[in-house]
Amino acid sequence: MWSRFGIFIAVFGLTHQVHCANIPYSDMYLPAKTRGFVCETEYFTIDHLREVATKAMESTFFEHYYQLFPKLFEDTHLFNVKSDILLSWPVLPNEKFHTSNPGKLRLIINIRGQIMGMVIVSPKGRKNKVIFQKCKPVRRSKENASNELQISDENWGMSRPVLGFKCGLKVVSWSQIERIMQFFSNDSFRERLKEHNRLTNLEKYTGDEFIGVDLYSFPVHKKLTNRITFATNSLIYLVFDMSNNKFKGITNLDDRKGKCVALRDLSFTSSDNIYIPSSVLNLDRMPDKYWPETCMEFRIKSKTMWLYLEFALKNWKSSLHGRQVNYPLVKSKVLQFWPMRFPETDNNRLHIGFGIGYDTRFETYHFYHAQIRDGKFVDLEPCMSFSNEIIHHLQKILRPATDS
């Protein structure tokens, strides 16, 4: 898989000095020792996300058909990036790969295929807009450590709190554990337990993973209610000591080999590497405004337009390691066309596309609109022109970067 990431480095002619030789190229801008991400109650391993990133890059630069994803991700501030092309690609629970329904989880990568993070997509409720909520990068504790050692302040440190416990690819949050423990410490619960001697689903713990005076196990539900006597088919159990109401850990009673592991929240931990954008343009201070012209009443942000113009003017290789680079997507005697990706909405129909085209007859660049049929761009028509002054200005800036 790492050889394929090397392909993407060669495509862009971009190399970076890596401060730690053990950090994979895809993980350069993640907090150190990131082993995965938590989105709500789902856990995603970093190994799986690297594969997803590779698929997203191959779809963008090697596939012959234009697909619905990746989408342009313009909320770059969520990852402390001021000016660069970021892309989003669907990620599915249980480490499945996206084929049709994209779901609500997205992997965010930069144009070099490096992982920036994950987000949850939610509809905003107006004009087909969506909002994004960041998922949390996490580090696993040592799997051979005891549950109590895993969650001790001495072991974790207050600056990196325990987010929860990973059981397989499911996560039990620390906040959920706290709510359950508060319920058990309630006086009415204690009285009820004395009257009935037992409660449905609350059982004596007989395993050997935890040590205590009066240990009980209780199934973890997705939602906690005031009633805890209903039946459940949960496989994950919370273990606590009734004598002092102390939480002991999380276990899978039906799969003792599948140990539940504490996760450390790395959301407030910075990467060891300073982010270097793929763009050589200094756009960090550019206002968040739209390009003065429109195409079929479609508006594009100025920063996005400049980044894609720069992208189209790069020197593209025709093949790498025996594989044809299918970018620009349209390559004819008359026109070369670089499709532009656009932000995700809650109406992601794929009928009309836009992009930057180079007319080889007149050596001019235009902004095109086109129909998309079966992944192909047809009926391409220019709707906006770029002046020679703009193109020459960009070429002058890019030439030193290309020569270096």
Give the domains, in start order, of the chain with CATH numbers. Answer: 2-137+270-385 (3.10.450.30), 173-251 (no CATH)
Q: Which two tokens stand for residue 268?
A: 């407030």
Could you give the CA distance from residue 246 to residue 181 in angstroms, rounded to a whole number? 8
Could you give the CA distance from residue 402 to residue 395 in angstroms, rounded to a whole number? 10
Residue 3 class from Cβ within 10 Å (0-12 exposed, 13-18 middle, 19+ buried)? exposed
Could you give the CA distance from residue 69 to residue 285 in angstroms, rounded to a whole number? 29
For residue 67, the Cα-to-chain-centroid distance in whole angstroms is 19
Beta bridge partners of 232: none
Helix residue ranges, H only, 105-146: none
Place of tokens 């007989």: 206
Could you give the CA distance from residue 19 to residue 403 in angstroms, rounded to a whole number? 25
pLDDT (tens digit, 0 to 9) for every residue of the chain, 404 residues total?
434 444 444 444 443 433 444 567 888 899 988 999 999 989 999 999 999 999 998 888 888 888 889 999 999 999 999 889 999 999 998 888 887 788 899 999 998 899 999 999 988 766 678 899 999 999 987 655 555 555 554 444 444 578 899 888 888 888 888 888 888 777 777 777 666 656 667 788 888 888 899 898 888 865 544 444 444 566 788 898 988 889 988 887 666 666 788 999 999 888 888 898 888 888 888 888 999 998 888 889 999 999 999 988 887 766 665 667 777 778 788 898 999 998 988 776 778 889 999 999 999 999 999 999 888 888 999 999 999 999 999 988 887 655 54
pTM (predicted TM-score): 0.84
Could you give the CA distance from residue 114 to residue 278 in angstroms, rounded to a whole number? 11
Three-class DSSP category at 317: coil
Could you give the CA distance from residue 211 to residue 204 in angstroms, rounded to a whole number? 13
